[in-house]
Amino acid sequence: MNDTTMNKTEQNRTECEALTARQCRAIAALLVSATVEGAARTAGVSRTQLYAWLATPTFRAELARRRAEVFAETLSRLKNLSGKAVDALNDLLHAKNDARTRLGAVRVALDCALEIHERQDIETRLKALEERTQQGGTT
């Protein structure tokens, strides 16, 4: 186990102290199971018990925190892959592939470019609205 993994394990253990060990196992199971029933089996608790825990604010808050942590780690991994993905897309665009493969690569590239443009436009407009609101202006 490397230092990062050990630090995350220690952090999760510390932050899960408000819950019982069974509840912490249930949260870990919920993060990897497709259903609540599957998570209950994995954690070794009844489905009824798991639903009861899910109804408590402390349990829900810890589950939400852990899900956000998993999502942030996933986004980080995707960001690290994005450069390679763009390189692969570029290779497909310029390779001697059949027309369908190149057309698919073109569509992906254009869809991504359009989405980035739209998001940047929305962000710019939102910042302008926030600035006007902070200055006491009208929208």
The per-residue pLDDT for range 125-137, each reduced to its tens digit, is 999 999 999 988 6
User: Is a pLDDT exceeding 70 seen at residue 3?
Assistant: no
What pLDDT does residue 81 have? 84
Please give the residue that has the higher pLDDT: either 81 or 57: 57
User: Is a pLDDT exceeding 90 seen at residue 25?
Assistant: yes
Q: Which of 68, 80, 57 is nearest to 12 (CA)?
A: 68
Q: Which of 7, 11, 10, 15 is nearest to 62 (CA)?
A: 15
pTM, to two decimals = 0.59
Q: Is 45 helix (H, G, I), strand (E, B) or coil?
A: coil
Least confident of 3-12, 51-60, 80-89: 3-12
